[in-house]
Amino acid sequence: MTRAAPHVTHEVLNQVPPLAGYDVADDPALLEAVQRETGLGAGDELHQLGQRAGSAQTQELARLANEHPPVLRTHDARGNRIDEVEFHPAWHELMATAVGHGLHAAPWPDGAPGAHLTRAAEFYVWAQAEAGHGCPISMTYAAVPALRHEPRLAERFEPLLASRAYDPGLRVPDGKAGLLAGMAMTEKQGGSDVRANATRAVPAGDGYQLTGHKWFCSAPMCDLFLVLAQAPEGLSCFLLPRVLPDGTRNSMRLQRLKDKLGNRSNASSEVEYDGAFAWLVGEPGRGVTTIIDMVSATRLDCVLGSAAAMRQACVTAIHYASIRRAFGARLAAQPLMASVLADLALESQAATTLAMRLAGAADRAARGDAGELALLRLVLPAAKYWVCKRTPMVVGEALECLGGNGYVEESGLPRLYRDAPLNSVWEGSGNVTALDVLRALARSPGSGDALLAEIDLAADGDRRLDAFAARLRRELKEAVAAGAEAQYRARRLAGLVAVTLQASLLVRHAPGAVADAFCASRLDPGAADSGPGAPFGTLPDGLDLRPIVARSAPATDCG
Ligand SMILES: Cc1cc2nc3c(=O)[nH]c(=O)nc-3n(C[C@H](O)[C@H](O)[C@H](O)COP(=O)(O)OP(=O)(O)OC[C@H]3O[C@@H](n4cnc5c(N)ncnc54)[C@H](O)[C@@H]3O)c2cc1C
């Protein structure tokens, strides 16, 4: 009797091996920025973290943390409230790595030049492992400058916030090996408009009792939260512990977790405070002034996180197109695909360069540099607006470079795509950050001068940039003169600020091919059918694309 041959329908050909086992930190735009900003090369720790972020094991942790999202356990079996959030072990492993590398508050007590910049570079690298757990990491980092408004509390909690021990679980904060901090500002009736907060704060003992709700409180398993509430003197900032010093749970009830578009590994909750105890931070009635320091630091992380998402999308697309063949050639060698990849690479490199320039400014501002503080005041909201808005477009286009495979979960791009809009939504949505650029111009006149002085460092480097800088100078002046009427064009102005600064940084620091292509496609009035408004892959003719794409290729690429 003859046996049937094994059921073989096809051989697997022309499929691309996954991009794994590479050093995420092997990123020229990043490494050159670290060198520039610190005067030193990147340390071993950055590359160790990069290897870890690009490993197959970490990619698996990221998958598990997102496919097994957190679960809220409001009550125990006997009906007692417990308000616990349960996470998959993969989440805890990602968190332990982030905290172990000091991506949360570790640079604050250090204070050495470059400590915040190094942390920013590491955050950018590790964000490419998994974005969701970056939320409590960023909030913990950002909580410290706000907490310092109350030196007594900062002295007590800052060493624990800065500790490199990841110590999850509901216990008295003072007794833990390490702490995490969250923030609760948004309420049902108002998020951007925080002055609409309705939570009441009544003096009680050495603190206040808070009663009200919060509509978005991410990472509710944190140990401490900065919360806004209405004290008798007006809107004030408070520090609310989840567990009270006597070991009992604070009256902070988790009502439910949000069912979100992306960011699924992270928990975002709705919270009720029923006479919850909290300490005042900063002056009563000056809550916005106090918490704004936290908002600035999280905005920087939004820019870094979005630049990281662009970079991740870009390397994935370049890796794929360097191997996959169609119509007799590798995709990357097809002229139109080369234009798409180069355009994505330009956007990604410009975002990384701008993000790291801001991280350098934040590092120096933390040590008292007033000029850098003025620059940040204007450029940070502009960059948050622009870089975060560009991210979903970059990720969507990168996804398409993989064809149908890019639309499939295993490619990693659907998760990146779902996560991509988030940084634009929170900590000041697009309109709010664009309007903040106008506010900075009106209230901090030195910020416009700081921006123009920075751009002028590239004067005479490229005629298109010079023309754009002159236009920016004019429009800044007009915006100041127009007052509230400038609101209508705030997005245009914020975009102009970000793109002109990106171009000036690239003209000064990037290889000639990159700077030339960026100016030709983003600034040249003759390139009306390319530029930021057009889809990617519409670069003008005559550009040298190979070095642009090579600069964004992952180090393992077989291309
Ligand atoms: C995943 C996720 C996690 C979050 N985590 C937290 C958290 O941990 N803590 C926290 O406090 N909040 C958190 N938020 C809330 C977030 O910060 C708010 O959603 C955001 O600030 C916008 O507020 P809102 O939703 O009330 O929208 P609204 O303030 O109602 O704004 C709606 C739209 O109107 C626009 N807009 C507002 N004012 C103006 C104006 N004057 N002119 C023109 N346009 C305007 C906004 O840009 C936005 O596009 C989170 C949100 C998300 C999605």
Ligand 1 interacting residues, C-beta cut-off 6 A: 182-186, 190-193, 216-218, 260, 263, 268, 422, 425-427, 429-432
The tokens for 320 are 């794929």
Q: What are phi and psi of 198, to 5 degrees?
A: -115, -5
Give me ligand 1 centre to Cα 549, in Å: 36
Q: What are phi and psi of 68, to 5 degrees?
A: -125, 75
If one residue of 199, 425, 439, 489 were mutated to test the ligand 1 pocket, choosing by the most ligand atoms within 8 A of its CB, it would be 425
Give me ligand 1 centre to Cα 421, in Å: 12
Distance CA 102, CA 222 (A): 16
The tokens for 506 are 């690239």
Place of tokens 């009736």: 189
What are the pLDDT digits (tens) for 35-48?
999 988 888 999 99
The per-residue DSSP string of 301-326 comes to HHHHHHHHHHHHHHHHHHHHHHH-EE
What mean pLDDT value characterizes the chain? 95
User: Ligand 1: which atom is nearest the Cα of residue 432?
Assistant: 47
User: Ligand 1: which atom is nearest the Cα of residue 192?
Assistant: 29
Residue 558: pLDDT band (50, 70, 90) is very low
Distance CA 133, CA 92 (A): 9
The partner residues of 387 in beta bridges, in order of sequence, read none
Report whether pLDDT(528) > 70.
Answer: no
Place of tokens 């295993």: 410
| Contact criterion met (CB below 8 Å) for 34 and 46 | yes
User: Ligand 1: which atom is nearest the Cα of residue 428?
Assistant: 21
Give me ligand 1 centre to Cα 205, in Å: 33
If one residue of 228, 302, 426 were mutated to test the ligand 1 pocket, choosing by the most ligand atoms within 8 A of its CB, it would be 426
> What is the average per-residue pLDDT within 404-418?
98
Residue 527: pLDDT band (50, 70, 90) is low
What is the 3-class SS of 168-190, one letter each residue? CCCCCHHHCCCCCEEEECCECCE
The tokens for 420 are 């991509």
User: Ligand 1: which atom is nearest the Cα of residue 184?
Assistant: 11
Name which residue sits closest to atom 51 of ligand 1, judged by CA.
426
What are the pLDDT digits (tens) for 162-198?
999 999 999 999 999 999 999 999 999 999 999 999 9
Nearest to residue 349, comparing CAs of 549, 545, 529? 549
Amino acid symbol at 380: L
Name which residue sits closest to atom 34 of ligand 1, judged by CA.
431
Q: What are phi and psi of 471, to 5 degrees?
A: -65, -45
Give me ligand 1 centre to Cα 270, in Å: 14
Write the burial class of residue 21 (CB in 10 Å: 0-12 exposed, 13-18 middle, 19+ buried).
middle
* pLDDT value, residue 2: 62
How far is it between the farthest Cα atoms of the chain? 94
Distance CA 502, CA 508 (A): 10
* pLDDT value, residue 490: 97
If one residue of 135, 215, 238, 429 were mutated to test the ligand 1 pocket, choosing by the most ligand atoms within 8 A of its CB, it would be 429
If one residue of 140, 180, 216, 270 were mutated to test the ligand 1 pocket, choosing by the most ligand atoms within 8 A of its CB, it would be 216
What are the pLDDT digits (tens) for 238-259?
999 999 999 999 999 999 999 9
Give me ligand 1 centre to Cα 411, in Å: 30
Nearest to residue 384, comparing CAs of 413, 426, 344? 426
Q: What are phi and psi of 518, to 5 degrees?
A: -65, -50
Model-level pTM?
Answer: 0.97
Name which residue sits closest to atom 13 of ligand 1, judged by CA.
216
User: Ligand 1: which atom is nearest the Cα of residue 431?
Assistant: 47
Amino acid symbol at 161: L
Q: What are phi and psi of 2, to 5 degrees?
A: -85, 135
Give me ligand 1 centre to Cα 231, in Å: 23
Amino acid symbol at 288: V
Give me ligand 1 centre to Cα 139, in Å: 16
Nearest to residue 308, comparing CAs of 446, 70, 449, 137? 137
Residue 534: pLDDT band (50, 70, 90) is confident
Helix (H, G, I), strand (E, B) or coil at 124: helix
Write the burial class of residue 169 (CB in 10 Å: 0-12 exposed, 13-18 middle, 19+ buried).
exposed
